[in-house]
């Protein structure tokens, strides 16, 4: 996998964990690398057909293997961080209290500064904080999978 997808061993394990999480969340049916390649080929074919038909579409015309892997991994993260309808239905995406978000804001004020040193107010960045906390939750799910014995799923 590392040759085709330009990943080192650690990156390969993290990608496989993210694919497994996506399967468990119902975002994909198969977390295998062969299935990833089939999805890439299907996406490239849809793009080719759209281009031939003169339809407007966004993104690359053709996805290389590393590009498509990154595309999927980013999409899965976004589906969790900005909960897609499917993720909301599962109820796996955490919600955070105002107190938790304010605590994050207070502990991480360096993230909310402007060029001249003044800070964005909590109200201005509340949604960003919630997304950041969801990113942390997503990363913890990936780490949890990485710590599990390989069960072949």
- What mean pLDDT comes out for the span 73-95? 91
| Choice between 85 and 46, residue whose per-residue pLDDT is larger | 46
- What mean pLDDT comes out for the span 88-97? 89
Residue 56 falls inside a structural domain: yes
| Domain hosting residue 51, numbered range | 2-147
Residue 104 falls inside a structural domain: yes
- The structural domain count of the chain equals 1
pLDDT at position 2 is 47
For residues 65 and 2, is the Cβ–Cβ distance under 8 A?
no
Residue 153 falls inside a structural domain: no
Residue 152 falls inside a structural domain: no
Residue 104 reports pLDDT greater than 50? yes
Residue 32 falls inside a structural domain: yes
| Choice between 149 and 35, residue whose per-residue pLDDT is larger | 35
- Compute the distance between CA of residue 91 and CA of residue 46 in angstroms, rounded to an integer: 32
Residue 67 reports pLDDT greater than 50? yes
pLDDT at position 10 is 92
Q: In terms of residues, how long is the chain?
A: 153
Contacts of 2 (CB under 8 A, 6+ apart): 8, 9, 11, 12
% of the chain with per-residue pLDDT over 90: 77
pLDDT band at residue 3 using 50, 70 and 90 as cut-offs: low
DSSP category for residue 119: B
Residue 63 falls inside a structural domain: yes
């Amino acid at each position: 996998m590392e040759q085709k997808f330009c990943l080192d061993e650690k990156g390969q394990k993290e990608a496989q964990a993210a694919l497994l999480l996506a399967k468990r969340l119902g975002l994909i049916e198969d977390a295998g690398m062969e299935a990833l390649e089939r999805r890439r080929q299907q996406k490239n074919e849809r793009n080719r057909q759209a281009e031939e038909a003169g339809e407007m579409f966004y993104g690359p015309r053709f996805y290389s293997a590393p590009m498509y892997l990154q595309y999927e991994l980013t999409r899965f993260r976004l589906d969790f961080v900005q909960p897609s309808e499917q993720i909301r239905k599962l109820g796996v995406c955490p919600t955070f209290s105002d107190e938790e978000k304010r605590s994050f804001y207070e502990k991480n004020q360096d993230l909310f500064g402007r060029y001249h040193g003044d800070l964005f107010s909590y109200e201005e960045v509340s949604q960003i904080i919630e997304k950041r906390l969801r990113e942390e939750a997503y990363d913890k799910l990936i780490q949890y999978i990485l710590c599990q014995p390989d069960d072949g799923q």
